[in-house]
Amino acid sequence: ASFWQLASTSTKEKLLGGLLVPGFDERSCLSRYHSAFYRKTMARSPSAHLIKRLREHEALQRRCGPGTEAYRAAAARLRSGHRNNGTDGDSCKYLVLVPYRGLGNNILAVASAFLYALLTDRALLLDRETSLGDVLCEPFPGATWLLPQSFPIKNLQNLTGEVPESYRHLVRQSDGDAAGAAGAASRRSYVFVDLDHSCTYHDKLFFCDDERRFLRRAPWVLMRTDGYFVPALFLNPAYEGELHRLFPRKDAVFYLLAHYLFHPTNKVWGLITRFHDSYLKNSDDRLGIQVRVFDGDTPFQHILDQILACTSQENLLPEVVTQEPPPPAAAAAGGARRSKAVLMTGLSSWYYENIRWKYWQSATATGEAVSVYQPSHEEHQLSGYTTHDMKALAEMYLLGMTDRIVTSGWSTFGYVGHGLGGLTPWIMFRPENHTTPSPPCRRAKSMEPCMHGPPFYDCRTKHGADTGKLVPHVQHCEDMSWGLKLV
Ligand code: GDP
């Protein structure tokens, strides 16, 4: 089938195999129902159980979200600092996510928080301090996921594990007494869960929580995280059965959640589709190369060497010849040469300039025509500025529209790019001491993002453990030895 499937896309494809519901206003968010036209077939299909649970969750967001009586009552209780009497079966519970750092971090945090909200029947609301509301459409029909400005707790970005409401304090006070902790949780007007990189052993006991049943009765959970914590949910026995029903294929979690949740707003969609139509659509083959440098914004020779070594060793880009080749045979002269589009992304344009020059200066050994493009070069990270974040989202999305992809290790930007595309990347290892690593890259085990700050604790045995060895589908990442990913 051709990449360009506009004519043949059926309603089922348009709704991404049942992930989406019809009925949204199409014009206000073109990407929602049009992204299928730009995609090869879905890399993974949603299970019937996931589809059912998504519909139930949408109903919950409508019943509990901002603008409802339930929300007004719950917010009023929070404002008055009321000790609540625990929640009964009917009342609404909430998860307020405070994402931070770059857009890739934010997107991984939202996907993780959404899955946690789905598992625990909480309405998900997003702090407005980020540009997420400017670059993404609302995912839930008839309900907003943006936290109202009037939310009683201000400066959510300043909350840390040190506040008295933190899960850390709750766990420490109760000292293993689950009933006591559940009582303590229900005496607080909210519980704050800190999953920052600097969080402690006690904060991370959150990942075993349901067993201890601390949070079950807390109507408001506020959470700070900048990353993908889904692998840790798969280690909690409380969620095991449900997660297995939701995701029979464990490597599909981010891919499916992202297709459900993340629909670029019309301005971002314009950036995506115009670039795609101008530079990617008509090539025979598309390669994405995501360059993320953590050692500073100036160009580094060892990183260029790494990109070239990786793409050569893995046969992702053709070799070049030093001699001018003979004129093409008559049959090939009429435009039958294969064309390869290379989409590069990065803050600097230096790597792109070098690779483009390589294929301009010399012919390829295969006779392929190689075109190299980079949508932007922002030079410095300026997260939170809408136009900057729009470009970042457009580029992550475009990376996902390629056929094969090389990413930079440790980068959440890269994880989102390959995860959205359903692509198993070649990951370039993070260089140490300004030296090209050997090998320069490696094919990943799955398309899933890596969790950077995992727990080191086994919920079952209640002891420290190597959490990459507990279940077959949660393993250590290629690019970060202590990280965890689903495979
Ligand atoms: P990470 O730092 O690589 O994990 O990814 P994040 O997305 O969380 O943060 C990096 C931020 O820097 C991005 O969100 C962008 O704002 C900016 N940035 C980094 N690389 C690129 C790039 O290739 N293109 C664009 N447009 N922005 C980038």
Would you state the structure tokens that stand for residue 106, as one six-digit string? 């934010």
- Take atom 5 of ligand 1 and give the residue whose Cα is closest: 413
Per-residue model confidence (pLDDT) at position 2: 42
Structure tokens at 5: 């499937």
* Residue with token string 């290790």: 409
* pLDDT of the residue at 430: 98
* C-alpha of residue 155 to centroid of ligand 1, in Å: 24
Residue nearest to atom 23 of ligand 1 (CA): 346
* Cα-to-centroid distance, 102 and ligand 1 (Å): 6
Ligand 1 midpoint to CA 355 (Å): 21
pLDDT at 378: 96
For residue 414, the ligand 1 atom closest to its alpha carbon is: 3
Task: For 370, list phi and psi in degrees, rounded to 5.
Answer: -105, 120
Q: Are 105 and 99 in contact (CB under 8 A)?
A: yes
What are the residues whose beta carbons fall under 8 Å from the beta carbon of 484, sequence distance 6 or more?
Answer: 231, 232, 450, 451, 454, 467, 468, 474, 475, 476, 477
Helix (H, G, I), strand (E, B) or coil at 125: strand
CB atoms within 10 A of CB 81: 10
Per run of 10 residues, the mean pLDDT along the chain (length 487 residues) is 49 92 96 90 96 98 98 95 60 95 97 97 96 97 97 94 92 73 75 93 91 81 97 96 98 98 98 98 97 95 98 98 76 72 98 98 96 97 95 98 98 98 98 97 98 96 96 98 98
Atom of ligand 1 nearest to the CA of 104: 7
Please answer whether residues 416 and 108 qualify as being in contact, where contact means their C-beta atoms are separated by less than 8 angstroms.
yes
Q: In this structure, what is the dihedral angle of CA atoms 104, 110, 116, 119, given to the nearest 10 degrees?
A: -120
Contact predicate 214/171, CB 8 Å: yes
Which of 486, 452, 128 is closest to 294 using CA atoms? 452
In the structure, which protein residues have their CB atom closer than 6 angstroms to any atom of ligand 1? 101-105, 292, 345-347, 376, 378, 381, 383, 388-389, 391-392, 395, 411-413
- At residue 3, the pLDDT reads 44
Atom nearest to 394 CA in ligand 1: 26
| Residue 77 half-sphere exposure toward CB, CA atoms < 13 A | 22
State the closest ligand 1 atom to the C-alpha of 105, by its place in the atom list counted from 1.
8
- Candidates 269, 384, 374; CA nearest to 34 is 269
- Looking only at the bridges linking them, the beta strands covering 463-464 and 457-458 are antiparallel
Nearest CA to ligand 1 atom 25: 392
Distance, in Å, from the CA atom of 374 to the CA atom of 398, rounded to the nearest integer, reads 11
Q: How far is the CA of 362 from the centre of ligand 1 (A)?
A: 32
In DSSP notation, 373-409 reads E-S---SS--TT-HHHHHHHHHHHHHHTTSSEEEEET
Return the DSSP state at 356.
H
107: CA distance to ligand 1 center in Å? Answer: 12
How far does residue 389's CA lie from ligand 1's centre (Å)?
Answer: 8
Q: Locate the ligand 1 atom nearest the alpha carbon of residue 226 and give its number.
A: 8
Angle between helices 412-421 and 103-120 (to 10 degrees): 60
Task: Write phi, then psi, for 426 (nearest 5 degrees).
Answer: -95, 120
> Ligand 1 centroid vs 383 CA: distance in angstroms?
8
The phi, psi pair for 402, rounded to 5°, reads: -85, 175
Distance 26 CA to ligand 1 centre (A): 29
Contact of 199 with 229, CB cutoff 8 Å: no
Q: Which two tokens stand for residue 278?
A: 């101008």
* 416 CA closest ligand 1 atom index: 7
Residue with the nearest Cα to atom 27 of ligand 1?
Answer: 392
Please choose from 377, 405, 413, 477 the residue to mutate so as to test ligand 1's pocket, defined by most ligand atoms within 8 A of CB. Answer: 413
Give the atom of ligand 1 at the shortest distance from the alpha carbon of 101: 8
* CA terminus-to-terminus distance, the chain: 28
Kindly report the protein residue whose alpha carbon is nearest to atom 9 of ligand 1.
102
> Angle 294-300-304 (CA atoms, 0-180°, nearest 5)?
105
Longest dimension (CA), the chain: 83
Residue 292 CA to ligand 1 centre (angstroms): 7
Beta-carbon neighbour count of residue 139 at 10 Å? 21
Dihedral angle of Cα 330, 334, 338, 342, to the nearest 10 degrees: 130
Q: Give counts: helices (H), strands (E), the chain.
A: 19, 14
Complex ipTM > 0.95: yes
CB 4 within 8 A of CB 273: no
Mutate to test the pocket of ligand 1, among 110, 297, 381, 382 (most ligand atoms within 8 A of CB): 381
At residue 155, the pLDDT reads 92
**Model pTM score:** 0.95
Cα(395) to centroid of ligand 1, in Å?
9
CA of 350 relative to ligand 1 center, distance in Å:
16
Q: Which atom of ligand 1 is nearest to the CA of 415?
A: 4
Q: Which run of H or of E encompasses 414? A: helix 412-421
Q: Which of 255, 195, 239 is nearest to 454 (CA)?
A: 195
Smallest CA-to-CA distance from 20 within 261, 268, 267, 250 is with 261
How do strand 191-194 and strand 220-224 relate by DSSP bridges?
A: parallel
**What b/e sequence results for 276-292 when a residue is b if at least 16 CB atoms lie within 10 Å of its CB, and e otherwise?**
beebbeebeebbbbbbb
Q: How far is the CA of 57 from the centre of ligand 1 (A)?
A: 31
